[in-house]
Structure 1
Amino acid sequence: MSRVSSQVVRRVFETAANRLDDPQKKAVSDYLAHSGTTADKHYRMKSLESIVMAAGLLKKLQKQKKSSAGPSGQEALGEGTSPQSVESSSHGDHCALPQPSLRQLVIDLERIPEGNNKVKFHKEFKSLLEKHPVTLSGQIPKMRHRRDTSEANQRKLYTHWAEKQLEMRVKHTREQFNRRRPTKERVDTWVKKQGWKCKAANISTEVVENWAPSGSEDRIMDNKQIQTLVKTQDWKGLHITQFEEKGDGIITTRTFKKGEVVCDYHGPVVSGKEGENIHKNTTGKETGYIFFFRNSKGQSLCIDAHSDRCHCHPDKRTFGRLLNHSKKNSNIKPLHCVVDKDGEMKDVILFIATKDLPVGEEVLFDYGVNKKYFNNEGSDLDWL
């Protein structure tokens, strides 16, 4: 069933009321315009007789509108009703109209004011925000301030303001973990550091349960969490394992969402020419650990990861260099990023999941080479 606004309902009934005489039209118009505000200002519906008469007219018009359309496409007047009877009833005695039940009358009377009350509260809340805007660290407006805005709705203003602040805090928190799914404990810790006077669990539960990667890929390295992981190489959710035919590889130990950062390709960045020299002086087994790319200026560069351990993490085997190749079954893609490190722009290669990765799946990417590369030396490379 489609929803319609109270304004549309008014127009429909006012159009249908054109067939009535002038006193009846005025009664319907006053009834439709009735609200708590107008009643206080103008006392339009003073008489109970006027209320009952107007409700009866609307009920009768409603029945006529529900009648089925005849073959000519015009509205039927309803079973057993002739044009003459409608004409006579519309100009006849008001008391001759069928009277609605008390319950239906109450429903009819409350239906339109309810919509007006929502509009009124919206205006009150907007007025409150002008003096007490919702902020991440702000305090809920005091009772005296809420009562100055609306004596009747001060409690509702309290609840609504608090809900808006919670929404703002959840959104802000989610932005801190926009490319790596956090644990509830991690979010709790982050929220508590903000000094917000609230239950961290309310925010962390919402963030973790409804988490999904967000934000532009161009801004991924703005994320402090990703910067820390690139620096520490403490990527979670991955495990080094042995494959019978291809040796070392990486599998997932948790699920990853499409668009999530899985890990990076770690190693010193050198020029493309230097990378080619390293390639020529390394064995075929080590060749696959050199990652060639071009930066945003079009310069040819290379990440040299042919050594089993890097000088900055001598106690770790980094994940990126152990990722295996697959053109058909790749499930991650490399993304070149730049990060400002102490005033120096550094190049980073991140790996982004191209689909949801379940637990226990091997992480693969397309190296972008074939057996004709490296002056046909690729024909001797087993990983191709």
Structure 2
Amino acid sequence: MFYLEALLVLRHLQRPGVVQNMTVSEWTERIHYKYTWENNPLDLTVVAVAEHKTATHQVATFALTAEEEQWFKVYFEKIRPTLLNRKSPKDIFFISSTGRKIYNASNDLRRLHRRFKIPNVSSQLARRICETWTVAQYSDSERYLFAKYLAHTSATADRCYREKTLGDICHASILVSQIGASKDVENQPSSSRILASTSSGATSTELQQPANRKHEEDAQSKNPREEAFRKFTEMYPLDLDSLGPAPKTAKTVSKVHGQYFSDKWRKTQNNMRADYIVGHFKKRKPSNEEVKRLIESKGWKQNLPKVNKIMEKLWHSSKT
């Protein structure tokens, strides 16, 4: 059981709350999905967890390989039943040796590391290092899929099982699995900082300038309004598909800065979406109609990036 917890937290980079609150129903309602990656057919299993400690209004999703799913099945069918007693919660997937709900998945990871005499790696450390690695290795669109896999989505569990979304989840899971060591990993900025930088309309070239970004981060950390906005995005995480908080909702968080929060959130998401579209046309310049069709295929209903803005970004990227 500790190994499966570590698999979700350290390999799939899920928050400990996902482990603690994953239900039997969510496991039995998992979706088997055939995904093709570089002409190779893969059998993946997508699980959506609707409640976790960090933000109950979000849905966490992850995609297990066929081998990983088999490990989970063995635990669920062979081991978990031996742990149940009269006081056990009926719909919680992970059950402790005392038959209770997992109290603290982070403690379980520490116990696992201590048992095998290996350095303890926390959820926060794993996520930070992996985010950092993606900066130099992945395209803008891949980084956003990766960030979405980590940040979770405000979509409902039903939406997570739609065809397009299933494909994105599987793609992101593969990106996570490909993360490897990098000599300069500690000296590179994290992808979460990239999301913050896009709010100022930075181009892809500017995002790769560590000195400029460090200067901007230092300035933001000394700005109370920017620090408040950062906390606001923890409540309403930025991702490609979320509708985002309404201005009225933002003002309930802060009467003084609510409108600013709402405007900046939408501007940042718009830039994210534009960069995502740009990432699909790295090798050739598309027509306006091709860009328009790709935007429409994403199913976004509002806050759509403008075609001319995307064409401008493509032109700048071709010059660098």
TM-score, with length taken from structure 2: 0.29
Indicate the structure with greater strand content.
Answer: 1
* Higher RCO (CA < 8 A, seq sep 6+): 2
Indicate the structure with greater helix content.
Answer: 2
TM-score, with length taken from structure 1: 0.24
Q: Which has the larger radius of gyration?
A: 1
